[in-house]
Chain A
Amino acid sequence: GAGVSQSPSNKVTEKGKDVELRCDPISGHTALYWYRQRLGQGLEFLIYFQGNSAPDKSGLPSDRFSAERTGESVSTLTIQRTQQEDSAVYLCASSSWGRIGQYFGPGTRLLVL
């Protein structure tokens, strides 16, 4: 079966532009997470979706960041007016309800010039 997929794999953008990152979770996984990993740092939690519950947005660093998820399928992470400090690998993960381990996608490498 397919794993978690993310697109694009790489994105280079200019400061001030908006970007949209996509995540396709494993079919049937109700939980979906977005993380960010800056160079030399650990994974930073951004947002969590669980089924039809209200998402936990507590990790979003600013109001330039938003994410949506349609039901239990695709999620998009949008960064508006990108800044150079937004440069990072953005990782998406999904898991089944009640299961501890997450399955990660390969990430989107974002570079803001």
Chain B
Amino acid sequence: DQQVKQNSPSLSVQEGRISILNCDYTNSMFDYFLWYKKYPAEGPTFLISISSIKDKNEDGRFTVFLNKSAKHLSLHIVPSQPGDSAVYFCAAIRGTGNQFYFGTGTSLTVIP
């Protein structure tokens, strides 16, 4: 039962343009949503999070948008850089608790 879904396995974007990574979820009880970035042969790295009571959180080039009515969140990276090329996972949790539900990841390629 996949409670967090990333329907696009891959995305290619030109350097300098905006990258938009999407994520959908099914459980309206999730309290926090997170994005992780993963390079090959490394573990995921926490990138940015958003509480369910907010609709936007921004950190430098990264902005996460949350649409609770649509059960949808997105990560915007602008401007995209070649070093952003990685697999991006979205995740959701309830409270500060234990179970993180991860999506299957989207592989982003930023073309120089």
A contacts, CB < 8 Å to B:
4, 31, 33, 35, 40-45, 48, 50, 56, 58-59, 91-93, 97-107
Q: How far is the CB of B42 from chain A (nearest CB, A)?
A: 5
Give the CA-CA distance A25 to B49 in the complex, in Å: 22
| Contact A100–B43 (Cβ < 8 Å) | no
Q: How far is the CB of A90 from chain B (nearest CB, A)?
A: 11
B contacts, CB < 8 Å to A:
2, 4, 6, 32, 34, 36, 41-46, 49, 89, 91, 93, 96, 98-105
Whether A91 touches B98, Cβ cut-off 8 Å, given contacts A43-B89, A100-B34, A100-B49, is no
Complex partner residue of A45 from B6, B96, B101, CB under 8 angstroms: B101
Give the CA-CA distance A58 to B93 in the complex, in Å: 15
Chain B residues, Cβ within 8 Å of A44: 102
Query: Can you list 25 A-B pairs, Cβ within 8 angstroms, ordered by A?
Result: A4-B43, A33-B98, A35-B102, A41-B104, A42-B2, A42-B6, A43-B102, A45-B98, A45-B100, A48-B98, A50-B98, A58-B99, A92-B43, A93-B43, A93-B44, A98-B96, A100-B34, A100-B93, A100-B96, A101-B46, A103-B46, A104-B36, A104-B43, A104-B44, A104-B45
Q: How far is the CB of B53 from chain A (nearest CB, A)?
A: 13
Q: In this complex, what residue of B is CB-closest to A3?
A: B43
Q: How far is the CB of A108 from chain B (nearest CB, A)?
A: 10
| Contact B99–A45 (Cβ < 8 Å) | yes
Whether A102 touches B100, Cβ cut-off 8 Å, given contacts A4-B43, A91-B44, A107-B43, is yes
- Since A31-B98, A43-B102, A100-B34 are in contact, a sample of 11 more A-B pairs with Cβ atoms closer than 8 Å, ordered by chain A residue number, is A33-B98, A42-B104, A44-B102, A48-B98, A56-B99, A91-B44, A93-B44, A98-B96, A100-B93, A100-B96, A106-B42
